[in-house]
Amino acid sequence: MKRRGSNLRYHEILGLPVRVVSSIDPGIEGVEGMVVNETMKTIEIRVGGREVVTFKSGTRYRFKIPETGEVVDIDGDMLLGRPEDRVRMVLKKR
């Protein structure tokens, strides 16, 4: 399955350009960079020469999909859980 806006929450997000659209932590709103790490509850974004860790819960992200040029907003709550489990969900659906 190709990575698209409609199925991005089931795919790997490492390496994607991302922007924090809104968050319960106002200090990270507007942070823009590349996803460099993801855990069960956090996404780490490289901004310039530093990394910013954001909690998925309560945060809305805007991802750009390089393959299609699509821009999609996703609530971090939809990304909660271990990344490897989220990717496996696609296989279970088939």
pLDDT tens figures, 50-62: 999 999 999 999 9
Return the pLDDT at 16: 95
Print the domain residue range for 64.
Answer: 8-82
Kindly indicate the confidence band of residue 9, based on its pLDDT and cuts at 50, 70 and 90. confident
Residue 85: CB partners within 8 Å, gap ≥ 6?
none
Kindly indicate the confidence band of residue 93, based on its pLDDT and cuts at 50, 70 and 90. low
Alpha carbons 26 and 38: distance in angstroms, whole number: 21
Query: Is 92 within the bounds of a domain?
Result: no
Query: Is 93 within the bounds of a domain?
Result: no
CATH of the domain at 17: 2.30.30.210
Amino acid at 79: L
Does residue 30 surpass a pLDDT of 80? yes
* 58 vs 8, more confident: 58
Query: Is 94 within the bounds of a domain?
Result: no
Return the pLDDT at 90: 56
Average pLDDT, the chain: 88
